[in-house]
């Protein structure tokens, strides 16, 4: 049964797959309309639009390379058009979720090319896309930046990726202070290992990796997108309006 409309609008980057997709549909179940981005697959994006509609909310997909800062001005114009389609001029929630697959690369062998590739999407892109979108965000809005459990527990080959996520956690804390006068709350959600197609689907499709993750997780299995999306949707809701500047790990107790 469709949910009653909340009147809220979210922007979710990387919303066509995995955690982002489940976030869009979880928000739709709460009556929140979404503008979400996809990188390559329009077909997958259209499936998310249909799922949101089935839940009783609207969703609009816009193509975006989250690591191409030069394209952000055009993206903002597309967001303005999408907002007009939704009958609004501003939005309420921003979920910086888009990511690119990363290689587990020992520090000694890490290349400048790989570091820049991860940096452009996971930090630089988040920094400047948030900056560009802030004028369109309602006062009292909320931002969720996606980090990783790997900022807490360490493993070989994670220096490049985890360092960028650590930078996102620091950025989150500073944004809480700078955006406080507008009553915009900013938090970080840090998933543990999740069975998606991220990084070639290594957790989802490699039985040995999946088993190893389960053995190191207190609740005994790898995470799923549906473990994360509803939590993000809940964090954005008024029920959690007083949570601000926090890193919230959603990992089932991984690496305890």
pLDDT, tens only, 8-54:
999 999 999 999 999 999 999 999 999 999 999 999 999 999 999 99
**Banded model confidence at residue 198, pLDDT cuts 50, 70, 90:** low
What are the pLDDT digits (tens) for 158-191? Answer: 899 999 999 999 999 999 999 999 999 999 999 9
pLDDT number for residue 21:
97
Q: Is 256 part of a structural domain of the chain?
A: no
To the nearest 10°, the Cα dihedral for 19, 24, 25, 29? 130
CATH number at residue 194: 3.40.50.720
pLDDT number for residue 196:
75
Q: Which residue has the tokens 């919230």?
A: 248
Between CA 29 and CA 37 the distance in angstroms is 19
Kindly report the number of other CB atoms within 10 A of residue 177's CB atom.
11
pLDDT number for residue 205:
56
Between CA 209 and CA 84 the distance in angstroms is 45
pLDDT number for residue 6:
81
Are the C-beta atoms of residues 59 and 85 closer than 8 Å to each other? no
Q: Is 161 part of a structural domain of the chain?
A: yes
What are the pLDDT digits (tens) for 113-153? Answer: 999 999 999 999 999 999 999 999 999 999 999 999 999 98
Q: Is 255 part of a structural domain of the chain?
A: no
Angle formed at CA 203 by CA 197 and CA 208, multiple of 5 degrees: 140
Q: Is 140 part of a structural domain of the chain?
A: yes
Q: Whole-structure pTM over 0.75, yes or no?
A: yes
Question: For residue 56, what are its two tokens?
Answer: 């009783």
Q: Which residues have a catalytic role annotated?
A: 161
Q: Is 157 part of a structural domain of the chain?
A: yes
Q: Is 1 part of a structural domain of the chain?
A: no
What are the pLDDT digits (tens) for 207-234? Answer: 777 888 788 889 999 889 999 999 999 9
Q: Which residues, in sequence order, are bridge partners of residue 185?
A: 142
pLDDT number for residue 213:
79
Q: With a cut of 70, say whether residue 199 has pLDDT above it.
A: no
pLDDT number for residue 67:
97
**Banded model confidence at residue 201, pLDDT cuts 50, 70, 90:** low
pLDDT number for residue 105:
83
Q: Is 196 part of a structural domain of the chain?
A: yes
Kindly report the number of other CB atoms within 10 A of residue 239's CB atom.
9
Sheet holding 247-250, edge to edge: 59-63, 33-38, 9-12, 91-96, 137-146, 185-191, 247-250
pLDDT number for residue 217:
87
Q: What is the DSSP string of 162-176?
A: HHHHHHHHHHHHHHH
**Total domain count, the chain:** 1
Q: Is 4 part of a structural domain of the chain?
A: no
pLDDT number for residue 214:
81
* Residue-number span of the structural domain to which 229 is assigned: 9-250
Tell me which residue of 197, 201, 169, 188 sits closest to 250, measured CA to CA. Answer: 188
């Amino acid at each position: 049964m469709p949910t009653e409309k909340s009147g809220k609008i979210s922007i979710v980057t990387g919303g066509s797959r995995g955690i982002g997709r489940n976030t869009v549909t979880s928000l739709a179940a709460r009556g929140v309309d979404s503008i979400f981005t996809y990188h390559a697959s329009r077909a997958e994006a259209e499936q998310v639009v249909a799922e949101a509609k089935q839940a009783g909310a609207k969703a609009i997909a816009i193509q975006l390379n989250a690591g191409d800062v030069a394209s952000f001005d055009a993206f903002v114009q597309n967001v303005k058009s999408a907002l007009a389609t939704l009958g609004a001029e501003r939005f309420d929630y921003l979920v910086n979720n888009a990511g690119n697959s990363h290689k587990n690369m020992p520090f000694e062998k890490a290349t400048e090319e790989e570091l820049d590739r991860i940096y452009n999407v996971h930090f630089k892109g988040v920094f400047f896309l948030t900056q560009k979108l802030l004028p369109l965000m309602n006062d009292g809005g909320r931002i969720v930046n996606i980090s990783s459990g790997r900022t807490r527990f360490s493993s070989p080959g994670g220096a490049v990726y985890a360092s960028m996520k650590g930078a996102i956690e620091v950025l989150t804390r500073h944004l809480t202070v700078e955006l406080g006068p507008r009553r915009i709350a900013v938090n970080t959600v840090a998933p543990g290992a999740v069975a998606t197609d991220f990084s070639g689907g290594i957790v989802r499709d490699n039985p040995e990796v999946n088993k190893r993750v389960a053995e190191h997780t207190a609740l005994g299995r790898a995470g799923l997108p549906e473990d994360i999306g509803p939590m993000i949707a809940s964090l954005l809701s008024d029920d959690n309006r007083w949570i601000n500047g926090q890193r919230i790990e959603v990992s089932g107790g991984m690496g305890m």
